[in-house]
Chain A
Amino acid sequence: MKKLIYALMVLTFILVSCEKDDDAKKLITQGDYPVKEYYLERNPSVNPWGAGMDFIHSECDLTDTDLDYLYLSPDTTNQYDIKFYTVKAYYTDDKGDTQSEGCPAMLLGEGVTAFKAGAGIDFFDSLTVVTEEMIASLAPEPEVDYEACKNTDGNYDRTLLFTALDQCVIGRSFRSNVLVVPEGKTEQQVQPVYLVKTSEGGYVKFMVKQFQGDAPKEKQTLVRWQVISE
C-alpha cells in the first residue's frame, strides 16, 4: 500500500512537473482581430510633431478605427505605441541657399518593446503565434537625443542623426533610400515586419507596407498592423 501511495505521489509529482513545463512553452496565438492599414502624412510641414499609433486602447473597441492613430500636437497627451515622426533638417546647399531634408522614422513609445520578426507581407500574414524566443527578443527603444544630433549652427548633422536613428528598433529601416529591394522583388515583399509588445502588454505585428503611396498619396506612408493578443 505504501509503495502504491509512494508511486502515486511520484506520478503526481511528475505530472505536475510536466504541467509546469508546458506552461513555460505556451504559445500566444492570434485572436480574431482585423488587419488595419492607414496612410500617414510624411511631410514634416503637415505632420510636424508626429503621428501616434495606439494599437490597443481602452477608449474604444478595437474595430473602431477613430483613435487608432492621431496626429500629435505639442499639447497632446495621448499615449501611443509607435510614433511616425519626420525630422525636418535644415542645411545650407552648395549655392548658399537654405534647404531642408526630411528624415522619417518610427519610434517606439514609452514602455513599448519590439523586434524585427521577419520581412514581407506574406510573413506578416503568417505570423499568428508568439513564441518565447520572440518575447525574449523584444527590446525597448533607446532614447534619441535630437539636440545631440545638431551641429554648432543649430542644424541637424546628417551623420549624427542617422546614427542615432539607426540605434532604434525600427528607426528609418523602412525608408526607400535605406531598404534594399532585390531585383524581382517588390517593396511589400521585403519591408521588415516587427512584433510589438504594447505598454498594455498586448502583442501586435506591424509593418510599413509602402513608404511612398501611389499617386495621389505620394506624400503619405502606408502602415499595416494586426493585434495578436490584447
Chain B
Amino acid sequence: MNRILLLAITLYLSVQTTFSKNCIQGEVTDPDDKAVSFASVQDVNGAYTICDSAGHFEICFNGDSAKIRIYALGFYADTVRIRKEDKEIRVILKRKDTALTEVSIVHRQTVKSTSMVSAISTGKKEIEMLNPQNIAEILQAQTGFTNRPGYQTPLTLRGLSGKRLLVLRNGLRRFSSYPAGYMSHTINVYDLERIDVEKGAASVVYGAGAMAGIVNLIDKSPFGQKGANARLTTGYGTINKEKTLLAGCGWSNGKLAFKTNLRYRTAENFKYPDGSIAENSFYTDKDVFTAIGYKFSEKQEILLTTDIHNGGPWGKPVGFNGSDYMRVQTSNENSYNYSLQYKLNTGKVLQSTELSTFYSNESRTLVKNYYTAAGYMLSYVETTRFSNYCYGVQIKNKVKISKNNLMNVGAEFYGFHISTPTDAVDYIEGISFQNRVSQNARSYLSGMYLEHIFLPGKKFKFAGGLRYDRASVYEGDVYSNTQNEEKHENKNAISGNVAALWRLKDSRIKINTARSFRMPETTELYADSYTSNGIVYANPELEPEYCHSFDVSYTYEKSFFDAEFSPFIWFVDNMISREEIKGMPGTNYQFTNLEKCRIWGGELSANLWLKNTIMGKDRLSASIGAAYLNGTDIGANAGLWAKGVPMDYVPPFNLKSNVVYNSPEDKKTELNVAIRATYYSRQTRLGESKYATPAYTFIGCSAGLSIKRFKTRPSLNIAVNNLLNTEYYSFLSYLPGEGRDVRIFLTIHFN
C-alpha cells in the first residue's frame, strides 16, 4: 500500500513539475526593426529553440521566471528575464559594428517547423534503438508508412511508393532500376544522422516523383565532432543468424573534416513463426561511405561524399509471389554514388545557395530459376543484367527580398541511362537465347522552380510556387527489322502549389494545395523489365501522371503533449499502373495509365512525454498514431465522388503505438527502454487482386544501456521484433512475416 501511495505521489509530483511549464512567444529584430533570422534562443536550464526566418520563436520554461539568452551571427548576444505572466516579448539585438566574430548556429530548423505539410523527423537515437535491418524498418514505425518487412522492400507512404515517393540522400535524389522504385536496402542505415519525411506533394522544390512526399536521408556532418573519433559495432540477429559489423571513424579540425563508415553483414535463411525455414531468404552485403569536407568559413563549405554498396548473393523467400517452383536470386548488386555539394550561407539578400552535382552507377544480376512440378527439375533459367547510371546537377537559392518576403529559386537537371540484357536457357525445349530488351534507354529531365514565401506577421506564413519540367525520353539502341530510328518522346509538366500556415496560441494549421507530377520513365516507356514476378512490358503511349492534392495538418502543442491530425485528398490523373496481360506463360504485365483515381485518408497522432518520472531529467514518452487510406479508380468520365472500383495496393487501417523511457543523458550510465505495438486491420476494400491479408498485431521492444564511465563508452542495445512470435501476413504478402527476432548490438568508441 505504501508503495502504491509513494508511486502515486511520485507520479503526481512529476506531473506537477512537468505540467508547470510556461511558454512564451517572441520576436527578434535589429534596431531598425528588421527581423533577425534564425537567432538562437536558450533558456539557462537548457531549453533551446531557434527563430524562423521572420525572427519568430517560441520557448517553454519551468517555474515562474527564467532567463533566456538570444544570440545571432553579427549581433551582440542579449539576456532577457521573462516571467510567468509574459506571453509575448520582443528582443532587439544590437548589431556588431566591428569585424564579426562568427557564431556557429549549432542547431538546425527541423523539417517539422519549416515544412508546409505534415512532417516527421527520426533521429539517430530512435534509429539505433531498433537495430534496424534497413530504412524501411525505421519508417514503418512511423504513422502513415506501411509495414512491409524483408531485406529488400519499398518505402510506402500513404499507400504510394517507389516513383511517387521521392527518396533523397542529403537532398539529392536517388535512382533505381527496380520497376517498383527505390529500394532502401542499398543504404547503410547506420550512416544516417536522421531521416526527414514530408508527407504530401512537394514537386515544386523537389521535382518529379514528390507526390506522396519526400524521404530525405541525412548523413551526419563530418564537421560534427572535432578531433579524431572512431566506433566499432558488432551485431547478431537470432532469426537468420545475421552477423553485422559496423566500423566508423572520422577526424575534423573544424575546417577540414573526414569520416568513413563501413558495414558488412551476412545472414542465413530466416525462420517463420512456426519454426519452418524461409528458403532462399539469405543475404550478404557490404557498404562503404566516405565524406570529405572543407569549410572555407562559417558561411561556406564543400562536401564530397562517396557511397558504395556491394550486395549479393541474396534471395527472395520461396513462394513470395505465390509460386513454389521458382527461386529468385540477385547474384550481385553494386552501386557507386558520388556527390559534391557546395553550400553558402550569407544571411544577406541571397541568404543561401546550394550547388550540387552527383553521379551514380548501379548494376545487378537477377536470376530466376524455374523448376518442374514433376520431379522438381530445373527447367528454365532467366538471367537479367541490369545496369544503369545517372548524373545531375542542381542549384537551390534562398533570397530575402524584404523583411516579409522570401524567395526560393532553383533548377535541376539529370540524366538516367539503363540497359537490361537478358539471357535465357530453356532446358525442356533445349534452346537458349539472348535478348537485348533495352540498351541505353535513357531520359533527361530539366526543371526550374520559383517559390515565394510571404510572412505578413508572426502568425501567418503563405507560400506559392511554380515549376516547369521537361523530360526527353529515348528508347535506346534500335535493333528491330521494322524500325530504323529509336523512339523518342518529349514530355512537359507544370506543377505548382499554394500553401498557408496559421500559428495560433498552442496550435498550428497548415494547408497545402498542389499539383505534383511524375514523368513516365524510360523503364516504363521503352524498356521491358524482367522482374521476379513476371515480365513488365513498357508502353510508349504513357502520359505523365499528375496529382492534384489538398493536404491539411492541424498540430496542437504543449510543453508535454502534442497531437496532429493530417487529413488529405488527392486526385491522380493518368496514374501509371500495371495491368495484367493474358495468355502469356506465367503472369506478365504492361504499364498503363489509369485515367483518374481518388485517394483520401489521414493520420492522427499524439505524443505525450513526462520528465522527472523516476529520476531527475529522465523522460518517459508515449506516442500513438492511426492511419487510414481509401483509394478508388473512378475512371475517365465519372464524377470526382463516383463509387468507382477499389484500387490495389491500398494498405488497410493501422494503428501504431510506442512507449519509451530514457534515463538522464548526463549520467554516467544511460538506459533506454521501449515497447511498441503495431495493429493492421483486415483489408475490406479489395482491388483487382482480391487478396486480403488478415488483421494482425505485432509487438516489439528494445533496451539499450550505455556506460559512459569507461573511456570506450560501451553500449549494448537489444531489439526484439515480433516479441510474441505471432504468425502474421504483412500487407499483400503471401508469406508470413519473420518469427521472433532478437538483435543484439554492442558498440565501443575510440576517442
CB atoms of B372 and A48 under 8 A apart: yes
CB distance from B316 to the nearest CB of A (A): 13
Given known pairs A47-B373, A95-B479, A216-B691, the reply for A101 and B428 (CB within 8 Å) is no
CB atoms of A217 and B584 under 8 A apart: no
A100 to B583, CA, bound (A): 10
CB atoms of B483 and A217 under 8 A apart: no
CB atoms of A101 and B479 under 8 A apart: no
Given known pairs A45-B379, A46-B371, the reply for A88 and B429 (CB within 8 Å) is yes
A63-78 CB contact bits vs B (8 Å, 1 = yes)?
0000000111100100
Residue of B nearest to A217 (CB): B322
CB atoms of A98 and B435 under 8 A apart: yes
CB neighbours (8 Å) of B433 from chain A are: 98
Residue of A nearest to B587 (CB): A218
CB atoms of A216 and B585 under 8 A apart: no
* Residues 465-494 (chain B) with a chain A CB within 8 angstroms: 479-483
Tell whether B321 is near chain A: CB-to-CB under 8 Å: yes
CB atoms of B322 and A215 under 8 A apart: yes
Q: How large is the interface on A (under 10, 10 to 19, 20 to 34, 35 or more residues)?
A: 35 or more
Of B370, B426, B480, B583, the contact of A101 (CB 8 Å cutoff): B583
Tell whether A96 is near chain B: CB-to-CB under 8 Å: yes
A49 to B689, CA, bound (A): 29
CB distance from A174 to the nearest CB of B (A): 12
Q: By CB atoms of chain A within 10 A, which of B321, B371, B426, B483 has the most?
A: B426
CB distance from B749 to the nearest CB of A (A): 47
Tell whether A59 is near chain B: CB-to-CB under 8 Å: no
B552-595 CB contact bits vs A (8 Å, 1 = yes)?
00000000000000000000000000001011111100000000
A69 to B429, CA, bound (A): 24
Given known pairs A88-B585, A216-B321, A216-B734, the reply for A45 and B380 (CB within 8 Å) is yes
A176 to B580, CA, bound (A): 12
Tell whether A90 is near chain B: CB-to-CB under 8 Å: yes
CB atoms of B325 and A177 under 8 A apart: no
Tell whether A224 is near chain B: CB-to-CB under 8 Å: no
A212 to B582, CA, bound (A): 9
CB atoms of B428 and A48 under 8 A apart: yes
Tell whether A173 is near chain B: CB-to-CB under 8 Å: no
Residue of A nearest to B368 (CB): A45
Tell whether A140 is near chain B: CB-to-CB under 8 Å: no
CB neighbours (8 Å) of A31 from chain B are: none
CB atoms of B429 and A46 under 8 A apart: no
CB neighbours (8 Å) of B426 from chain A are: 45, 88
Tell whether A191 is near chain B: CB-to-CB under 8 Å: no
CB atoms of A97 and B436 under 8 A apart: yes
CB distance from A49 to the nearest CB of B (A): 7
B3-30 CB contact bits vs A (8 Å, 1 = yes)?
0000000000000000000000000000
CB distance from B321 to the nearest CB of A (A): 7
CB atoms of B585 and A101 under 8 A apart: yes
CB distance from A85 to the nearest CB of B (A): 12
Residue of A nearest to B479 (CB): A96
CB atoms of B583 and A177 under 8 A apart: yes
Tell whether B424 is near chain A: CB-to-CB under 8 Å: yes
Of B372, B481, B690, the contact of A215 (CB 8 Å cutoff): B690
A216 to B321, CA, bound (A): 7
Main SS of the interface on chain A? Answer: loop
Q: By CB atoms of chain B within 10 A, which of A90, A96, A102, A177 has the most?
A: A96
CB neighbours (8 Å) of B580 from chain A are: 218
CB atoms of A44 and B480 under 8 A apart: no
Tell whether A189 is near chain B: CB-to-CB under 8 Å: no
CB distance from B743 to the nearest CB of A (A): 29
Given known pairs A96-B480, A216-B734, the reply for A43 and B370 (CB within 8 Å) is yes
* Residues 15-59 (chain B) with a chain A CB within 8 angstroms: none
Q: By CB atoms of chain B within 10 A, which of A43, A70, A94, A175 has the most?
A: A43
Of B428, B479, B582, B586, the contact of A176 (CB 8 Å cutoff): B582
A88 to B323, CA, bound (A): 18
CB neighbours (8 Å) of A215 from chain B are: 322, 689-691, 734
CB atoms of A45 and B480 under 8 A apart: no
Residue of B nearest to A88 (CB): B585
B512-530 CB contact bits vs A (8 Å, 1 = yes)?
0000000000000000000
CB atoms of B435 and A97 under 8 A apart: yes
Tell whether B639 is near chain A: CB-to-CB under 8 Å: no
Given known pairs A46-B323, A101-B584, the reply for A94 and B482 (CB within 8 Å) is yes
Tell whether A166 is near chain B: CB-to-CB under 8 Å: no
Residue of A nearest to B432 (CB): A98
Of A45, A76, A90, A103, the contact of B586 (CB 8 Å cutoff): A45
Of B321, B372, B481, B583, the contact of A46 (CB 8 Å cutoff): B372
CB atoms of B322 and A216 under 8 A apart: yes
Interface residues of B (CB under 8 A from A): 319, 321-323, 325-326, 370-375, 379-380, 424, 426, 428-429, 431, 433, 435-437, 479-483, 580, 582-587, 689-691, 734
Interface residues of A (CB under 8 A from B): 41-49, 51, 70-73, 76, 86, 88, 90, 94-98, 100-103, 175-177, 212, 214-219
Can you name 16 extra interface pairs (CB under 8 A) apart from A45-B379, A216-B321? A46-B371, A46-B372, A46-B373, A46-B379, A47-B373, A48-B379, A70-B374, A86-B585, A88-B428, A90-B429, A96-B481, A100-B584, A212-B582, A215-B322, A215-B690, A216-B691
Sample of 17 A–B contacts (CB below 8 Å): A43-B325, A44-B428, A45-B379, A46-B325, A46-B370, A71-B372, A73-B375, A88-B585, A90-B429, A94-B483, A95-B480, A96-B436, A97-B435, A98-B424, A175-B582, A214-B690, A214-B691
